[in-house]
Structure 1
Amino acid sequence: MTVIGKVADFVGKWFAILVLAGAIIGLLIPAQTSLIAPHVPLLLAIIMFGMGLTMRPVDFAIVAKHPKAVLLGVVAQYTVMPLLAWGIAHAFGLPPLLVVGMILVGASPGGTASNVIVYLARGDVALSVAMTSISTLLAPFLTPLLVLGLAGSTLPVSASALFASILQVVLLPVIAGLLLRTFAERFVTPLLPLMPLVSVTGIVLVVAGVVGANADAVLTTGLLLALAVIAHNTLGLTVGYLVGYFGRMPESARRAVSVEVGMQNSGLAASLATTHFEPVAALPGALFSVWHNLSGAAVATYWARRAPEEEGTEEAREPERS
């Protein structure tokens, strides 16, 4: 393995700690790290392009074979998390810009690291990949509508501007990566082991930049906001699992839905907040990036030691065999 390959493997295993380190560095040297904040959309576009490189058309085959599992998961993704974000933000009495930031997190698609967490948790990786892919492709349409509906009365929201931003930093880079993988796979395949390095580096920089730009706000409202973010993520993981349980999915699929619902593309939330609102609105996304990677790693460690017990009907078992 090359030196770069070893580094990529290291950051893939320790991404949660590295993201936490990025947040700490943002607090320690805010003047320097805040210079990264204007470049958050570009960093996210690079991350999403890398995500596109890891995707293949066959990843969507599970949608046709097992639509029920995918549909339940994606519907939960775009209902549970936005509503939880709105409810928790108001229950904690957060100021308007942080309410918007929480809703942006809740209305974002699945997190870029969720597939790795599902794999480590011995969950249904095919279902996880399908959910991440579909929720990402739906994001330009659903995210602006959800933010407009839940936050429009809090602050003025331009759904068309959000749509354009998500096209630029999410959908177009993902499609470009997917097409490049499809038509130049021989060139792309050797680069795939480096994708964890690209993704984790990008996420660390995003977190450091957003935290650095809002260091004062972190120190004054950080504890309350951190509690809100922890509640949001924890309830998302829990409700996601219950959706799989009551949907009569096998254990491996429940784990996948739990992680996909609970882990958000918080980098997108931070990017949209930075571009369309004031920098402080990006703070929930930055803190969510730190926490959901830590909680995801903890959940994966817990489930990795427990083999899934496949339960439910024959139809419910099918996603695991795909």
Structure 2
Amino acid sequence: MKTVEKFGNWLTKWFILVVVVWAMANFFLPSISIWAKSYTNYFLSIILFGMGLTLDIEDFKRIVKMPLMVIVGTVAHYIIMPLLAVLLCWVFRLDGVVAVGVILVGCCPSGTSSNVMSYLARGDVALDVSIGLVSTLLAPIMIPFLMSTLASQYVTIPTQKLFLTALEVVLIPVCLGLAVHAIFKDKVKKVTVALPAVSQICILVIIGVVVAVNHAKLFSAETALVLPVVMLHNLCGFSLGFGFSKLMYRIYPKGFRYAQQKAITFEVGMQDSGLGATLALQAFAANPVVAIPSTFFSVWHNISGSLLADWWRQHDDKHGIAAHSDNGEKGSAKQPIPTPATA
């Protein structure tokens, strides 16, 4: 198991480079992953089953302890990113299945990578995990609703197929993972060390499938604008997420402090693009182009998230900003950490 854990750590460190190399390999040799086209839902189910394995009652207690921040963060995610997608499609005049793909990734729950980025940026990881959990559990309802509301002008939206697929690959695996954790408890820890490697391999398979089935159209005139749109979608999501959390600080400063602002920034801007690609391949099987925006998003948001987290740490260190500061005040790192007795 130690070997698997080391491999997972290595894969995490070099994941972006591995993704790029793997995508190029499937672009030139699509036969590498085309076989897995019918099984992408199973690979995503494995990822989300693993997510369920890592959850316990404490994760749900945190949601109860800070319901306002979790609810506000989740609502912000499901409003900002879908509407941003629609706006970008209008600005760049995207149409048809390409527009549907952009909106689909915008309607997905927050990505698990945001937890890592929040940790690296010294954000509130507990809040990050809680928002991610709630947004993921709501996905079978929110994705069909948002897609039918925002994307039906482009193509007929298979609402029932989206709901059933999301239920199958999201809610059921997460609940099964929770049940296994509850039954076997501490024994699960022996297995969870392998989850990063397993999850990343499953993501690579899904990316490989999308590139393979779309290799002829990946860089065609039809999809030429997808990459810049995806990049703007993510960056605007970060900006609006941070701006929104700053606004909430003015309304409720005790709940939306600097660490929470970072968490909400990552939760809003980063999507579960693996789910987006899987839903695209399953619900829009006749139009695999729908999955291209999710694939681009998967690569790009890991790059941008890593850069933002690194910049945030350096910025805070340079200006002496403490992770526990109220609103990112410069020099707060020199002050003692507030306690219930002195706060």
TM-score by length of 1: 0.93
Question: What is the CA–CA distance in structure 2 between the aligned matches of 1:70 and 1:171, rounded to whole Å?
Answer: 19
Structure 2 unaligned regions, length at least 5: 250-255, 317-321, 328-337
Q: What displacement does 1:185 show?
A: 1.6
Moved over 4 A (4+): none
Contact 1:101 1:273 in 2 (8 A): yes
- Number of positions where the alignment pairs a residue of Structure 1 with one of Structure 2: 314
Alignment of 1:132-147 (within 5 A): 132-147=132-147
Q: Which residue of 1 aligns with 2:308?
A: 299
Deviations 1:173-198 (A, max 9, x none): 01111111122123211111111101
3-state SS, counterpart of residue 172 of structure 1? helix
Contact 1:101 1:283 in 2 (8 A): yes
Q: Which of 294, 298, 311 is the matching residue for 1:285?
A: 294
1:308 aligns with 2:309: no
Deviations 1:186-239 (A, max 9, x none): 321111111110111111111111011111211214541100000000011111
1:252 aligns with 2:252: no
Question: What is the CA–CA distance in structure 2 between the aligned matches of 1:2 and 1:161, rounded to whole Å?
Answer: 40
Q: Which residue of 2 aligns with 1:54?
A: 54
Q: Which residue of 1 aligns with 2:229?
A: 228
Alignment of 1:23-172 (within 5 A): 23-172=23-172
Q: What displacement does 1:169 show?
A: 0.5
Q: Which of 258, 263, 273 is the matching residue for 2:280?
A: 273
Contact 1:140 1:164 in 2 (8 A): yes
Q: Which residue of 2 aligns with 1:19?
A: 19
Contact 1:24 1:208 in 2 (8 A): no
Question: What is the CA–CA distance in structure 2 between the aligned matches of 1:52 and 1:82, rounded to whole Å?
Answer: 26
Question: What is the CA–CA distance in structure 2 between the aligned matches of 1:92 and 1:184, rounded to whole Å?
Answer: 51
Q: What displacement does 1:256 show?
A: 0.6
Structure 1 unaligned regions, length at least 5: none
Contact 1:19 1:289 in 2 (8 A): no
Q: What displacement does 1:156 show?
A: 0.8
Contact 1:72 1:243 in 2 (8 A): no
Larger radius of gyration: 2
Contact 2:109 2:272 in 1 (8 A): yes
3-state SS, counterpart of residue 43 of structure 2? helix
Question: What is the CA–CA distance in structure 2 between the aligned matches of 1:89 and 1:23, rounded to whole Å?
Answer: 25
Q: What displacement does 1:164 show?
A: 0.7
Deviations 1:108-157 (A, max 9, x none): 11112221121111110000010010001111111110000001121111
1:175 aligns with 2:175: yes
Deviations 1:73-130 (A, max 9, x none): 1011100000111111222122310111111101111112221121111110000010
Contact 2:78 2:107 in 1 (8 A): yes
Q: What displacement does 1:63 show?
A: 2.1
Alignment of 1:233-244 (within 5 A): 233-244=234-245
Question: What is the CA–CA distance in structure 1 between the aligned matches of 2:84 and 2:112, rounded to whole Å?
Answer: 20
| Bigger share in helix | 1
RCO higher in 1 or 2 (8 Å CA, sep ≥ 6)?
1
Question: What is the CA–CA distance in structure 2 between the aligned matches of 1:177 and 1:58, rounded to whole Å?
Answer: 15
Q: 1:28 to 1:304 in 2, by over 3 A?
A: farther
Contact 1:22 1:205 in 2 (8 A): no
Question: What is the CA–CA distance in structure 1 between the aligned matches of 2:179 and 2:204, rounded to whole Å?
Answer: 27
Q: Which segment is superposed worse, 20-29 or 93-102?
A: 20-29
Question: What is the CA–CA distance in structure 1 between the aligned matches of 2:18 and 2:90, rounded to whole Å?
Answer: 31
Question: What is the CA–CA distance in structure 1 between the aligned matches of 2:21 and 2:123, rounded to whole Å?
Answer: 28
Percent identical pairs in the alignment equals: 37
Question: What is the CA–CA distance in structure 1 between the aligned matches of 2:112 and 2:18, rounded to whole Å?
Answer: 15
3-state SS, counterpart of residue 325 of structure 2? coil
Q: Which residue of 2 aligns with 1:208?
A: 208
Question: What is the CA–CA distance in structure 1 between the aligned matches of 2:297 and 2:178, rounded to whole Å?
Answer: 27
Q: What displacement does 1:62 show?
A: 2.4
Contact 1:124 1:256 in 2 (8 A): yes
Q: What displacement does 1:309 show?
A: 5.8
Question: What is the CA–CA distance in structure 2 between the aligned matches of 1:70 and 1:211, rounded to whole Å?
Answer: 35
Contact 1:226 1:287 in 2 (8 A): yes
